[in-house]
């Protein structure tokens, strides 16, 4: 906008413009360094991809991708698609060149980008080799953004306090050269289904009950209401898309009932496994439209 001749800015407007100019002149906020470049040795790349169970229909993201070796190997060996980000422009250039050389440039991409600003919502596999406090800081984002059943594999550092599903420990001679130790640990996590809310529970030979699940990340508690009686569920464990529920004695069942099932859209479906009966059970969301 051009300023008309002879016009004087009001003191308030001048103060506003000066404040905006000062803001624009400020140096960009420093990116948070999530760890120095230490490439994952090749035998550990293989072990990480095997632990994640990478398949052709996976989309693997490596946060802090270095030379792109995890993403490129997943694409070349398993046909997966992938994406990597790094703050080091030289490494990003190298990763894209490595992808072209490996013939997987059409399946993968690498960008110079801060991993804390990277959307991980499309990843079905996430690989990490970052500082211990950084992987822990990522847990809320992983649980909020990644789809249920997605796998996370972290090299050397656990995503505490999230309990891992599987852990591997082994020694790799090549690691001594880059990390000063041969010792390696890999941790695998599976993103839990989101089942918090209200459900209509249908058990074989029983009237429908109401199941109320309170979920925070991987932890859940629940209550079941049948007739006029509401009881806390003895145990509810969510692992990926599967759920195990131990119901207290209710209705005609004198003993506790164990349910195992799987989330399919807005329904949990599975088998009554013990001890008070067998057969199929099902729970249907009552709050589907309100979430
Ligand atoms: C230990 S290396 C791991 C490299 C690769 N993932 C591998 O396993 O071979 C960590 C990488 O994270 C990158 N990095 C550090 N802070 C970052 C940030 N804020 N955003 C993106 N990348 C970052 C570093 O440049 C480095 O390449």
Structural domains of the chain, with CATH: 42-190 (3.40.50.150), 197-290 (2.40.128)
CB distance 152 to 143 below 8 Å? no
Percent of the chain with pLDDT over 90: 75
In the numeric block, the tokens 């009237």 are attached to: 207
- Find the mean pLDDT for residues 201-211: 92
Residue 94: CB within 6 Å of ligand 1? no
- Find the mean pLDDT for residues 132-161: 96
At 24-69, the pLDDT tens digits run 444 344 578 998 999 999 999 999 999 999 999 999 999 999 999 9
Report the Cα–Cα distance between both ends of the chain, in Å, rounded: 45
Measured by CA distance, the residue closest to atom 26 of ligand 1 is: 37
Residue 110: CB within 6 Å of ligand 1? no
Residue 240: CB within 6 Å of ligand 1? no
At 150-183, the pLDDT tens digits run 999 999 999 999 999 999 999 999 999 888 899 9
Q: Is 70 exceeded by the pLDDT of residue 23?
A: no
Q: Is 60 exceeded by the pLDDT of residue 3?
A: no
Bridge partner list, 272: 259, 279
Write down the pTM of the prediction. 0.82
Dist. CA 157 → ligand 1 center (Å)? 14
Q: Is 90 exceeded by the pLDDT of residue 13?
A: no
Residue 95: CB within 6 Å of ligand 1? no
| Number of the ligand 1 atom closest to the C-alpha atom of 32 | 19
| Number of the ligand 1 atom closest to the C-alpha atom of 34 | 16
Residue 115: CB within 6 Å of ligand 1? yes
Mutate to test the pocket of ligand 1, among 86, 132, 141 (most ligand atoms within 8 A of CB): 86
Element containing residue 284 per DSSP (H, E): strand 279-285
> Distance of CA 200 to CAs 58, 193, 223, 228, Å?
33, 18, 12, 15
Dist. CA 114 → ligand 1 center (Å)? 10
């Amino acid at each position: 906008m051009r300023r008309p001749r002879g016009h004087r800015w009001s003191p308030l407007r001048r103060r506003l413009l000066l404040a905006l100019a000062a803001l624009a002149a400020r140096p960009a906020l420093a990116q948070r360094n999530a760890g120095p470049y230490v490439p994952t040795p090749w035998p550990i790349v293989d072990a990480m991809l095997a632990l994640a169970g990478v398949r052709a229909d996976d989309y693997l993201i490596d946060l802090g991708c270095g030379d792109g070796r995890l993403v490129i190997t997943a694409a070349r060996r398993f046909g997966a698609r992938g994406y990597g980000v790094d703050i080091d422009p030289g490494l990003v250039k190298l990763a894209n060149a490595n992808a072209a050389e490996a013939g997987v440039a059409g399946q993968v991409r690498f960008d110079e980008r801060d991993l804390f600003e990277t959307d991980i919502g499309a990843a079905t596999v996430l690989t990490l080799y970052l500082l211990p406090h950084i992987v822990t800081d990522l847990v809320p984002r992983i649980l909020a953004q990644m789809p249920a059943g997605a796998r996370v594999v972290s090299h050397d550092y656990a995503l505490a306090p999230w309990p891992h599903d599987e852990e591997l420990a082994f020694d790799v001679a090549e690691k001594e050269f880059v990390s000063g130790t041969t010792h390696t640990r890999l941790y695998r996590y599976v993103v839990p289904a989101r089942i918090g809310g209200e459900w209509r529970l249908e058990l074989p030979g029983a009237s429908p009950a109401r199941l109320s699940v309170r979920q925070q990340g991987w932890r859940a508690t629940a209550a079941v209401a049948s007739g006029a009686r509401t009881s806390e569920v003895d145990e509810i464990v969510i692992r990926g898309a599967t759920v195990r529920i131990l119901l207290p004695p209710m209705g005609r069942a004198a003993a506790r009932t164990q349910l195992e099932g799987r989330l399919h859209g807005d329904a949990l479906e599975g088998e009554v496994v013990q001890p008070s009966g067998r057969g199929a059970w099902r729970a249907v969301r009552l709050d589907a439209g309100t979430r």
